[in-house]
Structure 1
C-alpha cells in the first residue's frame, strides 16, 4: 500500500535540506512512499521543474491570513499519511494544523544549529510555545546531527524516544577524471593546485574570511587558485572582489556561480576550504568526502561529527589567525591525494544514501 508524504519547506531552491530530501525520492518510491512538497513562501523555486519532471507536485501555500484554510484544504485533498516539516520551530504550528487535519504521522526535522543569537523576551515566549506544540503534536523530531538537536532542545533529548538523529545520505558517484579539466574550463595551468568552495554567498558561509585566508596563502605561495561555486549575492561578491584586489590575488580567484552538477568540479580539486560560521550537517563537505577529496573546515559541531568518521575531513578553529589557516592549507596540499582510501571510508559510513532512506522509512512506516 502506497504512503503519501507531504514535505513542508520555505521554498524549493538548491539548499542542502531540499536537495537531500529530493535525493531520496526515487528510492522511497520503490518502497511504496510517494512525496509531494508544500512551500510556505508561495514562491516558485529552482527545483520545482525537476520535482514535476520526477512525477511529484509542489503546492504553494503562502503564510497569510488564509493560510490555515488553504493548508487544511490541501491536506484534505491530498489524503496524506505523513506530514514532514523542515521549517525549524515553526514546524510546531504546521504539525498542530496537521493534527487538526487528521494526519496520522507527523515529523519535524531540524537542519541547522543556528537560531537568533539574542532573542527578545517575546521571541523566547514564542519559541517556548512552539516547542510545546512540537512535543505535543509530533510523533518524531529528527535532527541532521546531534548538534542540531542540542541547539534547539534544552533538555536531555537523548532520553526521549521521539528524538532521532538522521544523518543526511549521499550516493557515491564515479566521476571520470579528466587531465585537462581545469585548463579547458578556466585556462589555468595544470601546475596549479585547485582549492574549491561550494556554498551560496551568505553570512553563514563566511566568504570574506575564506578570501582572506586564501590571500594569506598566496602571500607565500603562487601554486594555487581558488574556485567558488554557488549562488552569488552581488553585494557580497563585490566585497570579495575588493579583498582579492587589495591583496593582489584577484587573478587567482574564480567565481563560477551556481552549478546543477558540482561533483565534477570537486573531483578535480586538490582540497575544499570551508570556513563556515555555522551549519547543520554541511552537504558540500560530505560530497567532497564522498569523492575522497580532502576538506579543511571550521570546527563547528556538524563538521566535528563528520570528522569522527571520515579521515579526509579536517577541522580548525575560526578564532585562529589567517596565517595559521594558511599553514594548515600548506600542510594539507603537501600530502599525497588518496581518493580511493577516502572513498572506501565513506562507503562504510552512516552518510550513505541507502542508510538515510532506511532511517526515514522507519519514521513513515
Structure 2
C-alpha cells in the first residue's frame, strides 16, 4: 500500500478536545502516513506543539489564513501544489469551505471536513450568518467526505436528511483507556485535600460553553453546606479567569483552580464525582475520560451529552442552568459514596469509545 501525504487543518495547537483527539490519532497511526502536515491557520502553535513535533514524519506549518483574503488562498494553492498533498482534512466545520474550494482547484482528490461542535461558536449577526451560510455551501459542495463526532452536529448544521447522503458519517471520539487504568497516583497532597475529602472535578478550557459560572454557583452551595466538599477545576485559562470570583467568596481553599495540566489521569484520580454542565458540545473527550476512569458523572442533558452516555443514567442529568438540580444530584453521590456503582459506566465507555476501532474508521475516511 502506497503511503500518502496528508494535511490536517486546525486553528492552533492549544490543548483542547480536538487537538488532543488528533494528537492521539496521529500517535497511533503515524506509521501509516508518508508525510503529515499540521496546518495552524490562526498562525500560531500552542501547548501541544512539542508533543506533535515528536512525531517523526510530521511537519507543523503556521500560517494565518483570513476569512476572505484572496492572497491567503493563492498562497495556500501554491502550498498544496509544492507539498504534493494527497488528502486534506479540516476540523473547523463550515469554516473549512474556502480551504476545500482551494484544495479542489489544486486537484486534491480527497477533501474531508470534520465537524467537532454541534452549534455555531460565534456571536451571531446578519453579516456573520451570511458568511457562515456562504462557507457552509462551499463545504457541502466541495467536501468528498463529511464527518462529525455526533449526530447532534449534523442535525444542527444540515436540515436535510443527511442520513441518506453517503458522504456523511458519524465517527465518535476514541480513547485509549490504558493511561487512565495504569495511573495510580492522585494530587490530594499537592492541593492540600484531606484523604477523606469529597472532591467534585471538572476538566475543560474556560469558555462560555463549559458553563463555569453555574459550576461556581453549585460549588458555593455545597461548600457552604458541607465542610469536607472540594471542587477541582482545571483547563486553559480557568485559574486566570475565575480566581478573583473564588477569592471574593473566600473559598480559595475549597475551590481549587488550575490552568492547563498534562496529568489528567492524576486529576481524575483525585475526584469522587465528575460534574460536566456544558451548554453546548461536540462530543466531550473530557466526559469520556471520566467515564473510562470509573468516576460517577453528573452532566447537563444536552443532546451531544445524551448521545455520549448510557440511557440508564440520563434521568440524573439536568438543564445546564439548573443549580438546585445539580446540587441535589451531587449531594446524593456525596451522601452515598460507598454505593456509587449505578452512577459509573466504565465498561460501557471502554466498549463504545474503543480507540482502535474508531481511529481505524477515521483513517479509512482519509
- Render the CA deviation track for 1:8-39: whole Å, top value 9, x for unaligned: 01111111111101101132224446532101
In the alignment, what sits opposite 2:21?
20
Within-5 A mapping of 1:255-274: 255-274=257-276
Q: What RMSD over aligned residues (CA atoms) do the two structures have, in Å?
A: 2.4
Question: Could you tell me how far apart the structure 2 residues matched to 1:201 and 1:177 are?
Answer: 27
Q: Which aligned pairs between 1:101-250 and structure 2 lie closer than 5 A?
A: 101-115=106-120, 119-173=124-178, 174-178=181-185, 181-232=186-237, 236-242=241-247, 244-245=249-250, 249-250=251-252
Matched with 2:347 is: 344
Match in the other structure for 1:44: 45
What do the CA deviations read for 1:277-326 (whole angstroms, capped 9, x no partner)?
A: 11111111011111111111111111100123685995211243x22211
Contact 1:109 1:142 in 2 (8 A): yes
Name the CA shift for 1:340/1:324 in 2 (closer, same or farther; >3 Å). Answer: closer
1:194-231 Cα distance to aligned partner (Å, 9 max, x none): 11111111112111210110111223222211111111
1:128, distance to aligned residue in structure 2 (A): 2.6
Q: Would the alpha carbon gap of residues 16 and 337 (structure 1) be closer, same or farther in structure 2, given more than 3 Å must change?
A: same
> Which of 82, 86, 93 pairs up with 2:87?
82
Q: Is the 8 A contact 1:310 1:346 kept in 2?
A: no
Give 1:281's aligned residue. 283
Q: TM-score, normalised by structure 1?
A: 0.90
Is contact 1:291–1:339 with CA below 8 Å preserved after alignment?
A: no
- Give the distance between the partners of 2:237 and 2:121, measured in 1 at CA: 24
Q: Tell me the SS of whatever aligns to 1:316.
A: coil
- Is the 8 Å Cα contact of residues 175 and 267 (structure 1) preserved in structure 2? no
Matched, 1:304 2:306: yes
Distance 2:177 2:18 in 1: 18
User: How many residues align structurally?
Assistant: 357
* Contact 1:271–1:293, Cα closer than 8 Å, also in 2: yes
2:222/2:327 contact within 8 Å kept: yes
Residue 96 of structure 2 corresponds to residue 91 of structure 1: yes
Q: TM-score by structure 2 length?
A: 0.90
**Unmatched runs of 5 consecutive residues or more in structure 2:** none
- For 2:222 and 2:52, how far apart are their aligned partners in 1? 42
Deviations 1:174-210 (A, max 9, x none): 23434xx444222221110111111111112111210
Q: Contact conserved, 2:150 with 2:170, CA < 8 A, in 1?
A: yes
2:296 maps to which residue? 294
Greater mean deviation of Cα atoms: 132-141 or 56-65: 56-65
Alpha-carbon contact 2:297-2:344 (below 8 Å) kept:
no
Q: Distance in 1 between matches of 2:193 and 2:302?
A: 33
Of 113-122 and 166-175, the range deviating more from structure 2 = 113-122
SS of residue paired to 2:349: helix
| Contact 2:117-2:282 at 8 Å conserved across structures | yes
Aligned-partner SS, 2:249: helix
Gaps of 5+ in 1: none
Q: Does structure 1 conserve the Cα–Cα contact (< 8 Å) formed by 2:238 and 2:258?
A: no
Shift of 1:239: 4.8
The answer on whether the counterparts of 1:292 and 1:340 sit within 8 Å (CA) in structure 2 is no
